[in-house]
Structure 1
Amino acid sequence: MRAIVQDRYGDTEVLRLEEVERPEPGREQVLIRVRAAGVDPGVWHVMAGRPLGVRPAFGIRGPRQRTRGTDVAGIVEAVGPGVTRFAPGDEVFGVAAGSFADFTLASSEKGLAPKPAGVSFAEAAVIPISGCTALQGLRAGGLAAGTRVLVLGASGGVGSFAVQLAKVVGAHVTGVASADKLDLVSDLGADEVLDYTRQDPVDGTRRYDLILDTGGNRPLRELRRALTAEGSLVIVGGEGGRGLLGGFERAMLAAPALSLVTRQRLRGLMAVTRHDDLVTLTEWVEASRVRAPLDRTFPLGEAADAIRYLHAGKVRGKIAITI
């Protein structure tokens, strides 16, 4: 089968399309014929091995998992012993290590669910990681009807789902993006939109019950001044930082420590793609209350171009690899 593989860390030049042996499912594994795979920032981090502090988890000299990609949508080809939820021929979506390939293995049923009806495989493939992260981030922040929510990075993968999910619950949502993406954020349902190049969204002139920071690197003191006295800050990612942890120390270390001495609740989020959350997202997608904001697709052989497009900040919503 074909797969996008790499043997060392680096920029997109380390990726190559190669013929590899097709995997076979073991116990509690599902073999998926991939129809589409989502592209998210995690793909770039594993490819580049950056920040350096993550390499013990990925592999010191090169990634242990040679094939890139995690988000997936496709058709079950075969199942291993112990699998009860799925059967060959089922259309599924979720996460599976090495989804930039003709076939991939999902090592557990817990990260898969039936594909939402009425959407393409490409649309389904961009939902799992970003959708579950947005859902879990909003829950962690205490989202409820009437909550005033600020979404930083509202035109990105997690942010575009967060805007929609907050509106489903009945929150008042302000979305922050660059000028050329404000129309997307409005179309996703935001009550207000702010262009961060012209207005500082956390200057303290407005206060929010919940701020979801989906990948910036603003100092905590700036984010806190836009929170109510008992508001919640949930940090997802930390793009653009320096040092061993590349900015992720805000979420992993600084926010939890500061939360011990203030009434404001500050935390980072380590999201996990779960079957139950995928089912929840499916229900809202099928009810047309949430949609997959698919910008464009790339064929498997152009996976490097897709990652460059994402890392350059050009994406409006999400992109997918189609196979």
Structure 2
Amino acid sequence: MPEHRTSAATAMTAAVSREFGAPEVVRHARVAKPRAPHPGEVLIGVRASTVSIADSRVRAKRVPTGTSLLASFTIGFRAPRIPVLGMDCSGIVEAVGEGVTHVAPGDEVIALLGSAFGGHAEYAIVGTTSTSVVRKPANLSFEEGAAIVFGGWTARTYLDVAGVKAGDTVLVNGASGAVGTAAVQLAAHAGAHVTGVCSARNADLVSSLGADRVIDYTTTDPVDDQTRYDIVVDNVGNIPFERLATAVKPGGTVLGVIAGLPDMIKAPMRGLRAGIRVVPANAPFDRHALERVAELATVGAFRPVIDRTYEFTDIVAAHRYVDTNRKRGNVVVRVP
């Protein structure tokens, strides 16, 4: 998104980073407003977005082990290829491209921008073939709407791949983050028996979301109690695969939401040897997953978890807080 002289009618404010580094590399700038949507695209006037762990990692170029070269082709080698971060947003539809019929100008929506990013700005373009735009649940504010997108879509996609069902036992490692809080809720709603792994300070939160049991990882080894699960959701990547595999029942599934390149390459063979299924950190895109999450939120079966909300002018502070790795659920930025 180039920075150059633009008229007031074609300019917008965005949080821009022109170098990799600490939160302070993010600065507000006047940049060109996105052009009119092409066929299959939606132009959204953004009202809220989140600063996710993905935004933090891309900003600092802190990528999983072994993925630095591959990631550079997407996020940049010496400087960011995508200066405006934000993998999600909520807002109001400004315009739609040809062929878009499920939303219309004036609709309040939530959107997954994914690896295209762009949510940390006053306007965002979303392509509906590779990302997802759905109507915002009317019972949620814009801030709450933004808070169900990234974690909700990710958790829904992975759990659907695993085929979670009533009676399954599910271990969620990293149960208090954006994806973890969503995974606990969605698995519990499916009728699974959920065990959440988090610190003691987050135990009450995770229990309130539907976990039947909570393991404090600071005092108890989550995979050393002889319990076996049908599904293990790993949102942290801090437990070696060989140990995760011992916590899965024969024929069960490990969902590696976060994994380094060596683990992704070795995952299929490791799964075959262990007699389990391994889904590495590249689950197939499902543009309907967000729609299913929104439906649950509409009836109160899925709730947003917001740790802190920042004004857009304080987005650097939001990045600083995410960098502490202590956020519970989502950190939301309100865009004026």
Please classify the TM superposition score into its range, dividing by the shorter chain length. over 0.9
Aligned to 1:269: 281
CA contact 1:23–1:103 (8 Å) conserved in 2: yes
Distance 2:273 2:226 in 1: 24
Task: Give, in angstroms, the shift of residue 274 of structure 1.
Answer: 4.1
Is 1:108 aligned to residue 128 of structure 2?
A: yes
Q: Cα deviations across residues 199-218 of structure 1 (Å, max 9, x unaligned)?
A: 10101421111100012321
Deviates more, 1:6-15 or 1:288-297: 6-15
Aligned to 2:253: 232
Aligned to 1:241: none
Is 1:12 aligned to residue 27 of structure 2?
A: no
Q: Cα deviations across residues 148-179 of structure 1 (Å, max 9, x unaligned)?
A: 11000000110100000011110000001001
Q: What SS is found at the alignment partner of 2:233?
A: strand
Q: TM-score, normalised by structure 2?
A: 0.89
Aligned to 1:61: 78
Task: Give, in angstroms, the shift of residue 192 of structure 1.
Answer: 0.5
Aligned to 2:3: none
The aligned amino acid for 1:79 is V
Task: Give, in angstroms, the shift of residue 140 of structure 1.
Answer: 2.1
Where do residues 124-143 of structure 1 align in structure 2 (5 Å cutoff)?
Answer: 124-143=145-164
Is 1:169 aligned to residue 190 of structure 2?
A: yes
Deviates more, 1:44-53 or 1:277-286: 44-53
Equivalent of 2:42 in 25, 30, 35:
30
Task: Give, in angstroms, the shift of residue 18 of structure 1.
Answer: 0.8
Where do residues 192-207 of structure 1 align in structure 2 (5 Å cutoff)?
Answer: 192-207=213-228
Count of residue pairs the alignment pairs up: 314
CA contact 2:37–2:43 (8 Å) conserved in 1: no
Task: Give, in angstroms, the shift of residue 271 of structure 1.
Answer: 4.2
Aligned to 1:242: none
Task: Give, in angstroms, the shift of residue 230 of structure 1.
Answer: 2.2
Equivalent of 2:292 in 253, 273, 280:
280
Is 1:249 aligned to residue 262 of structure 2?
A: yes
Distance 2:79 2:207 in 1: 41
Deviates more, 1:104-113 or 1:116-125: 104-113
CA contact 1:151–1:211 (8 Å) conserved in 2: yes
Task: Give, in angstroms, the shift of residue 68 of structure 1.
Answer: 1.4
Change (3 A) 1:25 1:273: farther
Unaligned runs of 5+ in 2: 1-11
Aligned to 2:107: 90
Task: Give, in angstroms, the shift of residue 258 of structure 1.
Answer: 0.7
Unaligned runs of 5+ in 1: 239-246
Deviates more, 1:302-311 or 1:116-125: 302-311
Ranges of 4+ aligned residues in structure 1 off by more than 3 Å: 271-275
Distance 1:273 1:90 in 2: 24
Q: Cα deviations across residues 184-209 of structure 1 (Å, max 9, x unaligned)?
A: 10111100111001110101421111
CA contact 1:113–1:275 (8 Å) conserved in 2: no
Q: What SS is found at the alignment partner of 1:320?
A: strand
Distance 2:20 2:93 in 1: 31
Task: Give, in angstroms, the shift of residue 248 of structure 1.
Answer: 4.5
Change (3 A) 1:224 1:294: same
Distance 1:229 1:69 in 2: 39
Q: TM-score, normalised by structure 1?
A: 0.92
Q: What SS is found at the alignment partner of 2:46?
A: strand
Deviates more, 1:20-29 or 1:143-152: 20-29
CA contact 2:174–2:196 (8 Å) conserved in 1: yes
Aligned to 1:244: none
Aligned to 1:315: 327
Q: Cα deviations across residues 261-299 of structure 1 (Å, max 9, x unaligned)?
A: 231112213246644212111111111111011111111
Q: What SS is found at the alignment partner of 2:48?
A: strand
Q: What SS is found at the alignment partner of 1:87?
A: coil
Aligned to 2:243: 222
Distance 1:80 1:174 in 2: 44
The aligned amino acid for 1:205 is Q
Task: Give, in angstroms, the shift of residue 8 of structure 1.
Answer: 1.6
Task: Give, in angstroms, the shift of residue 45 of structure 1.
Answer: 2.0
Aligned to 2:8: none
Where do residues 171-190 of structure 1 align in structure 2 (5 Å cutoff)?
Answer: 171-190=192-211
CA contact 2:173–2:232 (8 Å) conserved in 1: yes
Q: Percent identity?
A: 40
Aligned to 2:165: 144
The aligned amino acid for 1:76 is V
Q: What SS is found at the alignment partner of 1:230?
A: strand
Task: Give, in angstroms, the shift of residue 311 of structure 1.
Answer: 2.0
Distance 1:306 1:254 in 2: 36
CA contact 1:133–1:272 (8 Å) conserved in 2: no
Q: What SS is found at the alignment partner of 1:19?
A: strand
